[in-house]
Amino acid sequence: MCPHGPNDDCECRKPKPTMILDAAKDFSLDLSNIYMIGDHRSDVVAGKNAGAKAILVRTARNGQDEGPEADFVARNLTEAVDHIIAA
Ligand SMILES: [Zn+2]
């Protein structure tokens, strides 16, 4: 996890993709076959910035944290997983 605050301008805080890219390198993952699932726009943008597919799950605390970047918007994690399985 990123231990920094939003004003620290670090390289690991979402929506920067650094942590996703590092994980892909560590585990030899093909980012074009990876789904980033998150409940905040910063999760979705980080996934897209890394070259992954991104699913927004509408369970964010305010229920409104949505951006146009998501490849799919799911009501919950089950719907997100169903989408991936059907792909
Ligand atoms: Zn950080």
- Coil vs helix vs strand at 54: strand
What was the pLDDT predicted at 32?
A: 93
- 36 alpha carbon to ligand 1 midpoint, in Å? 18
Strand partners, 53: 35
- 2 alpha carbon to ligand 1 midpoint, in Å? 4
Give the least confident one: 7-11, 27-31, 39-43, 79-83.
39-43
- 19 alpha carbon to ligand 1 midpoint, in Å? 9
Confidence class for position 82, pLDDT limits 50, 70, 90: very high
Q: Indicate the domain borders of the chain.
A: 32-86
Q: Is the dihedral of CA 49, 54, 59, 63 positive or negative?
A: positive
- Coil vs helix vs strand at 61: coil
- 11 alpha carbon to ligand 1 midpoint, in Å? 6
Summarize pLDDT for 56-76 with one digit per residue, the tens: 998 766 555 566 789 999 989
Give dist(CA 30, CA 51) in Å, integer: 9
- 10 alpha carbon to ligand 1 midpoint, in Å? 5
What's the pTM value of the predicted model, to 2 decimals?
Answer: 0.86
Give dist(CA 53, CA 57) in Å, integer: 13
Average pLDDT score over the chain:
91
